[in-house]
Amino acid sequence: MRFGQRKLPRAFLPVAAAVIIALLIAIATDLVRLGPATIDLPKNAMGLTIEISRIADGDPSFDYYYVVLSISNSIDDPTIRPYEASVRLRVDPAASITRHIPTAGDHAEGETILLPDVVRTFTASAGYVSYDEPEENVGVWIVHGERLLQSTPIFDRRGDFLVDVRIRQGVSLTVTAEATLTWYYRSPVQAYPVASRTTEAGFRIASDRSST
């Protein structure tokens, strides 16, 4: 009997190890989630604003503008953070986008943006950023904070998306945007989506017949 009792623990060890490894894999791949499956967002969880600032240029043919799209997050829970964003920004067909921030690539942390002629700073998102211009007047960003072995919120309170725009002199400028923000539950061992929201915004600046 004692021989059989000694054999049982030895036979059990590989099974226990396999169960533990399977559980760790399930947690790492989010098959087993240690936090809430979903959360209810308050009405003010996400904000979306557009700012347009004229750039002094001296060009008699074109006017130039900064266009900044800002996404705000009002969720205070440190375990519920913004981890994904999808942004589509469109300017008038007569206009063209000449620069965009954040740039495509992996950004370990948010980038502080200082713009000439604008009195405050802006913050670009962290995470892996992809950018596309399906048309010369449309910019599309997709940002992921969870990628491979890295995990970081894309921003805390606010993330800014910037384009420089060129348009024929004296033509009014209209900007429209749609953004989807996704919040993740974050723990020391996991990060997975629990809520998302989509918001639209628009802004128009009247024509300025003078060129500076």
Q: Which has the higher per-residue pLDDT, 158 or 23?
A: 158
163-199 pLDDT tens trace: 999 999 889 999 999 999 999 999 888 889 999 999 9
Position 3 scores a pLDDT of: 46
pLDDT at 10: 59
Task: Express each pLDDT in 117-172 by its tens digit.
Answer: 888 899 999 999 999 999 999 999 999 999 877 889 999 999 999 999 999 988 99
pLDDT at residue number 170: 86
CATH placement of domain 39-205: 2.60.40.680
Cα–Cα distance for residue pair 96/136, rounded to 1 Å: 5
- Given pLDDT bands bounded at 50, 70 and 90, which one contains residue 13? low
Indicate the pTM of the whole model. Answer: 0.82
pLDDT tens for 35-90 read 688 999 999 999 999 999 999 888 899 999 999 999 999 999 999 999 999 999 99
Residue 128: how many CA atoms within 13 Å on its side-chain side?
7
pLDDT for the residue numbered 210? 45
Give pLDDT, residue 23.
45
Cβ pair 127, 111 in contact under 8 A: no
Give the phi and the psi of residue 7 in degrees, each rounded to 5.
-70, -30
Q: How many residues does the chain have?
A: 212
